[in-house]
Structure 1
Amino acid sequence: MLRSSNSDTIKESSNKVGDTNDDRDYDAIIKQSTTALAEIYRTQHIALLDKRAFALGMKSQFREGLKDAQAMIKYAPDLITGYLRLGDLYLRQGMSRAAIDIYDRGLENLHPPAPPLPLPQQNGETNSSLVADDPKSYYIQLINARKAAVKQHESRIDFIQRLSTELTMNIFMHLPLSAKVICTQVSRIWRTKILRCSVAWRVIICDKSLTTDTSTAVCNLVARNDALGIGSHIRRLVLHCNDFSSENNNMKICQTYLDSMMNLRLTNIQELSISGNNGMGGKGILSCGMMIYKIMCLFFFLVHSIS
């Protein structure tokens, strides 16, 4: 049975005890009084927990507020109050999925009541809009709360677009390389912001922690010669060629980076480290060695040209 408030329960319990008292049925009085006291304690306890949970939520003390709201459902699973309060606290924290689950749990436990009887008017006619006690309205509150939670859950807020440039740069610079690559694929705004964040790309380390797709994506970003390229951001480049999935992929990735250096994409690089083992093969080592030699010659020429 769905319970809407504690006042109705107290009044109902008191009336039962009063009716029994008139009949002088003392055993019934004891039984009904005990039941009424237990019910009054329960509902009053729930009311106080609800007030405290609300106040804790308003002070952003959500952990303690959630404990009170969960206790409300534990003590009175047939009262709607606990489900509404717990769902509201979840929504205040942006946890719309958890709120939906709680509302679903409430709707499952609290079956919809029968339609209430309308109150008769003085002229004997009835008015369906007037009801003595409409528990259905409280059930509808739970349905409406769930609808609001679903709407919030389906809405999307682009926090990267709303945050300041300083904050977004601070976020991007602490992401792992694989996550940075994913950010470039979220939207045009995300892509533009992260590719312009030079501190996010100052150190590039390619090793076995990266998937082939991630390594290839970073290579492509380095090789670009436009605003979407990250070559000019790189200060330190570390290539662990022996950690890649295959020899051909090793060489392709290494040569992409080295080609970018040859084509002056990595204009601000300060440190280059390449490691390998016998798994690379003699041809691969020789190819990388020749490429590095050409880069050294190129930089030697550039330095002397400037001086």
Structure 2
Amino acid sequence: MPKRKHSDEPPPNDTKRLATTPTQVASRLDLRYCMPGNVARSTFDKCSADLGRSDFQGAITGATSTIDDLHDSLIALLDIRAISYSRTMQFDKAFQDASLMIRYAPLRAAGYLRTAELYLLQCRQLAAMRISQQGIKSVPTDRYDEQKQLQDCYNAAKTRQEKRINFITKLPYDLLCQVMDHLPIYNLAQALQVCRDWRDRMSVYPKPWASIYLMESGIGCSEKGDEINSVMNVLPHVSRNVEKIHITCLESEQCEKLFSMIIKGTFNRLQRLQLAICTTSNYCRFMLALWQTKDTLQELCIVTVDENSPVAPIGVILSTCRNLQRLECRQHRITATADGIGAVSTSRPSSLLELDLAFAQIDTAVLAPILRCCRKVRKLNIHSCQIEAIDLMRAFCPDVKSFTINVTAHDTPSTEEDNQHIISSSSASKRTTEPSMGLTHIMMHLTQERTADKPIRLLTDNSNTLNNLSLTLPIDNIPNLVQHWSPLRSLVFSKLIRLDVTFGVVLSDVVATVIRHGCPILEELFIGNTESISLDIFQAISQLRRLKDLKLAEIPYVNEQGMIQMFESFAGRQQGQERACTLRAIELSGSEFEVSDAILQALADIPSLERIYMSELTTMDRYAFDRFARKLRERSPPIHTLHLSDLECVSEEAIIDLSAVESLRSVELFGLRHVTSQSIEKLYSNKTIALETDVT
């Protein structure tokens, strides 16, 4: 082995072997890594001088004494700041300072005592007792005064806890239920977050939690947002009682939180979920929430107005919620696509009974798999689709009783009783193998259709079963329009009770024939948004022997003589005979034609009228309505309901005459410029009349 070479210089980069002199060591130890503040400046200077004189013991003694003083001052200052924070209701900061007191001085009672006092200010006696016990165990037993202070604090908190009355737990359960019935849902949610005892006792009463309604009052309203969040926070605790959730105008974050609460809870009774005008960025969390309620959910409603919202995954919804009976999806600004709808399972048909779809556009290729899955549906509403949807409905949905296509209005012409009959009759169809008898409700908007083959075929096949029919026929002058719709003349709707029709001048003769010969038992007729009503139409209406309700709205022109003759025909029928008048209600609203004195006089002569509704009408004769009201008072027909709104022709004298009609029971007056409180007092004086008015 070669010998190591001797050298006076150390090896390069070998700092560990460098010689260090005592002077160099002293200079390193004298370095200052932190400079003091003004409070300890004098002590620091004195200790630095002792260090410079090598009086190390003097520097140690002086620094130690000052450190002890500063530690006591720190604890005292934290205590003062905690008190100040608590007096200004900043309890979070006060608890932080009290926690620092315990951290810096765990063997002293000050931090535990201050924390206990803060808990007592918040009426949290149990927490004050716990922190006092922690202090008793931590503080040395030889500090008798501090131990006594902690024990006294514990005893004070215990005494207050024993004297505290928990009204919710002491109140009899039946009285508690009555109190909860009168509280808003937001207050109930706040009460549930007071303590566990309140939550356990109040969450078992099912009635106030059965229906949850959440609606944002406006953008930037933090108070309403806090109330909604408060309700959402308690949803998992009351989830077993919730049967219906209806939210309106919530932002995406609030919707996501709601879905999270549904996932977290046990919603084993939830039957209805409605999301109206809510914003959501995606439906992932929503589908997870649906999975939690898939066995009980029966009704689902999704309404969005944001054009940037994703398409609701209807196919996935139908495949997931097999017990769903009603699905409503209205996204008027969004085009339905196959990718957005998602895959629809056809292996197991859905139990859906009512389907309502409204998009900016939905192609028949997208609609076909949905209808193929919903073979049991009995009420079908489709908006913005091709007329070929009629063929899809006939092919895939044989049990449909109510069918609406391309109608912008939300509600159908059927009544609530009719809807209940449509849905409930599904159980009867399950017990029989007989084929479906046909549609009872049809509503079609056909203004853009150039041909009438498919609608005519649908009406022909169901002419013997229809109860309600609403038709919006083409208004434009389409070539061969009359020829296309002439087959309507030969149809007889033997069970038709209600007819809503909108048409153009070209089809007036066709509509008149349908009314005259095709509706033998018609009871309700509504003609609206029509250019004009001809003499033939009025003559056809006058021949309806069972007509009870007539509505004419948004009509620019009418044949005045025809309207007068129609009213005179109703007035001329004698009660008790075969052709007795059955007309009970009439509505004239939003029309531009002039209501003459002769029209009003003929209307007042109808002896069977019970309800009159007039709104936004004009008349050239300012005294025409006065004579109409006077005639009602003199003839005293059985009229019991009268609605007048936005009429320039109604005067004080007319109101006074109406107040003398003996049979009148309900009066609504709005937007009557020439009516003052003087005549309104006359109506108020009649105790038999229920009055609603904006006249003050």
Same fold (TM over 0.5): no
| Greater share of strand | 2
TM-score by length of 2: 0.23
* Structure label with greater radius of gyration: 2
Q: RCO (CA 8 Å, sep 6+): is it higher in 1 or 2?
A: 1
TM-score by length of 1: 0.44
| Greater share of helix | 1
